[in-house]
Chains A and B, each alone.
Chain A
């Protein structure tokens, strides 16, 4: 047995707990999961049935855990794990499943196929067959945490530039972007880049929130690798900052996997060191609007708008009504996709696949059902509260000629705040280009 296979099998064994064993044992092979999967809907073939994908791991599990299967593997289609099988499993888990869990909620037995795909991802990561880009992105994030001094000065310069922009947009000379503010109520954790800092900064300042940034971002590629060790190292940066600054609450940027990670995983990983409320920025926006902390024009967004439910935020995070409350507070013509909310179709960009160029063609093909959904709403603006979803829908827009504008929820809220200047790229003539709309009143 090679070291790769030994490590992969050891990782499988280490992960075997009741939920995973149940998933590995419980499938009735009814096939209902097929229609639930966007890969199958896009291209109906047996390899795209979630149960088929799961069966590839079950074959290995049976060989390792069932006496009869080990003696007579041909009877039960049991398979001894070898390099070829691991390569096949790796391909399945990273390129044919976005971990959206739509199959799970539609399964009569609740079989958690994505949990099995995560188990494979962890095996692949341990065995060294996981996509190197994801490993590299996770390691780069860990490196940033190990020694932030090599970029902190540049980060602060960038924030100072953004603060000037913020004052220009809001017309408020006192608007600030605090960094590492001791004792702030909220630690807001953005993604890398200005686009997830500037719009929330506008909102936090308008709401007169006591908030701060740290120098770390929310993305966690360790999660996509299902590598708990790496994921914990990346998350620890935020946990340590929250403790050091003494904040009450952590607010996560519009990002599906990061919200899921900090809302559900981190409190377990850091039990005893993590006594913080975790909310998505979406919940904060809804709260500010309902409490009147920010003023928005109810007719501020004159064009047709639809909302894409990110799987991590909606189906797996329960954030179903908050984004709709926000949108209905600012949009004149809001159109739902069908199905939506917990039954929403994945856009095809989840699970880290948007970073994997080798699977781009597969990703765009799997996004066809989402492209069709968007097209049937006739909406010209698509709001997605997740960076990966926005990247994917942007690519779908280009590939399927959807002629849409893809935006974050916060950006649209800022647009409806009717400030002296718009955010960069959010000028009304750009946002509603080519659409017959009434001018905002």
Chain B
């Protein structure tokens, strides 16, 4: 069964590093094991979100481009 994100965030129009800043704030609002789903328009998230997940120890579940929108899901691991 697919897990349902606890939070869904819209970062459209935000330029890097703001999507990373916002996701870092949001991760504290969910419990360990819960998911956050977000969409953004800045292509910088394609590099910055995976790097953020690696350096902070959270899981990047998916990251995909749909037309001009970047959609990603992260899981809080600690």
Question: In the complex, are the beta carbons of B55 and A143 less than 8 A apart?
Answer: yes
Nearest neighbor of B56 in chain A, beta-carbon distance: A136
Return A256 CB to nearest CB of chain B, in Å. Answer: 15
Could you tell me the distance between the alpha carbons of A144 and B49 in the complex, rounded to whole angstroms? 10
Kindly state whether residue B69 has any CB partner on chain A within 8 Å.
no
Question: In the complex, are the beta carbons of A140 and B15 less than 8 A apart?
Answer: no
Nearest neighbor of B46 in chain A, beta-carbon distance: A154
Question: In the complex, are the beta carbons of B52 and A140 less than 8 A apart?
Answer: yes
- A47-55, A58-66, A187-195: which lies at the B interface? A187-195
Could you tell me the distance between the alpha carbons of A6 and B4 in the complex, rounded to whole angstroms? 45
Kindly state whether residue A357 has any CB partner on chain B within 8 Å.
yes
Chain B residues closer than 8 Å to A139, beta-carbon distance: 55-56
Question: In the complex, are the beta carbons of A195 and B46 less than 8 A apart?
Answer: no
Question: In the complex, are the beta carbons of A151 and B46 less than 8 A apart?
Answer: yes
Could you tell me the distance between the alpha carbons of A150 and B54 in the complex, rounded to whole angstroms? 10
Could you tell me the distance between the alpha carbons of A193 and B13 in the complex, rounded to whole angstroms? 11
Nearest neighbor of B64 in chain A, beta-carbon distance: A154
Contact residues of A between 190 and 224, Cβ < 8 Å to B:
191-195, 215, 217, 219, 221
Kindly state whether residue B48 has any CB partner on chain A within 8 Å.
yes
How many residues of chain B have a CB within 8 Å of chain A? 22
Q: Assuming A133-B24, A137-B17, A137-B21, is B54 touching A192 (CB within 8 A)?
A: no
Return B60 CB to nearest CB of chain A, in Å. Answer: 9
0/1 string, B38-58, CB within 8 A of A gives 1: 000011101110111011100
- Tell me which of B46, B55, B65 contacts A140 (CB under 8 A): B55
Q: Assuming A154-B46, A357-B21, A357-B25, is B15 touching A387 (CB within 8 A)?
A: yes
Question: Which of B18, B25, B46, B65 has the most chain A CB atoms inside 10 A of its CB?
Answer: B46
- Tell me which of B21, B51, B63 contacts A143 (CB under 8 A): B51
Q: Assuming A194-B42, A357-B25, is B15 touching A136 (CB within 8 A)?
A: no
Question: In the complex, are the beta carbons of B46 and A158 less than 8 A apart?
Answer: yes
Chain B residues closer than 8 Å to A143, beta-carbon distance: 51, 54-55
Q: Assuming A140-B55, A143-B54, A150-B54, is B17 touching A194 (CB within 8 A)?
A: no
Could you tell me the distance between the alpha carbons of A139 and B55 in the complex, rounded to whole angstroms? 6
Return A78 CB to nearest CB of chain B, in Å. Answer: 38
Kindly state whether residue B9 has any CB partner on chain A within 8 Å.
no
Question: Which of A132, A143, A192 has the most chain B CB atoms inside 10 A of its CB?
Answer: A192
Kindly state whether residue B16 has any CB partner on chain A within 8 Å.
yes
Kindly state whether residue A320 has any CB partner on chain B within 8 Å.
no
Kindly state whether residue A123 has any CB partner on chain B within 8 Å.
no
Kindly state whether residue A142 has any CB partner on chain B within 8 Å.
yes
Could you tell me the distance between the alpha carbons of A155 and B43 in the complex, rounded to whole angstroms? 8
Kindly state whether residue A97 has any CB partner on chain B within 8 Å.
no
Q: Assuming A140-B55, A192-B42, A194-B43, is B50 touching A151 (CB within 8 A)?
A: yes
Could you tell me the distance between the alpha carbons of A154 and B46 in the complex, rounded to whole angstroms? 7
Question: In the complex, are the beta carbons of A192 and B47 less than 8 A apart?
Answer: yes
Chain B residues closer than 8 Å to A195, beta-carbon distance: 15, 42
Return A168 CB to nearest CB of chain B, in Å. Answer: 14
Return B16 CB to nearest CB of chain A, in Å. Answer: 4
Could you tell me the distance between the alpha carbons of A291 and B44 in the complex, rounded to whole angstroms? 33
Nearest neighbor of B63 in chain A, beta-carbon distance: A154
Q: Assuming A140-B51, A140-B52, A155-B47, is B16 touching A191 (CB within 8 A)?
A: yes
Question: In the complex, are the beta carbons of B55 and A150 less than 8 A apart?
Answer: no
Chain A residues closer than 8 Å to B54, beta-carbon distance: 140, 143, 147, 150
Chain B residues closer than 8 Å to A136, beta-carbon distance: 20, 24, 52, 55-56
Contact residues of B between 53 and 78, Cβ < 8 Å to A:
54-56, 63, 65
Question: In the complex, are the beta carbons of A141 and B21 less than 8 A apart?
Answer: no
Question: In the complex, are the beta carbons of A155 and B51 less than 8 A apart?
Answer: no
Nearest neighbor of A387 in chain B, beta-carbon distance: B15
Return A8 CB to nearest CB of chain B, in Å. Answer: 23
Question: Which of A151, A157, A219, A357 has the most chain B CB atoms inside 10 A of its CB?
Answer: A151
Partner-B contacts on A (CB < 8 A): 132-133, 136-137, 139-144, 147, 150-151, 154-155, 157-158, 161, 191-195, 215, 217, 219, 221, 355, 357, 387, 391
Known: A137-B21, A387-B15. 4 other contacts (CB 8 A): A142-B55, A143-B55, A151-B51, A391-B15
Partner-A contacts on B (CB < 8 A): 15-18, 20-21, 24-25, 42-44, 46-48, 50-52, 54-56, 63, 65
Q: Can you show 6 pairs from A to B with CB atoms below 8 A apart?
A: A136-B55, A140-B51, A151-B46, A154-B65, A155-B47, A192-B44
Pairs of residues from A and B, 9 with the lowest C-beta to C-beta distance, nearest first = A192-B44, A193-B44, A192-B16, A151-B47, A143-B55, A139-B55, A154-B46, A140-B51, A144-B51
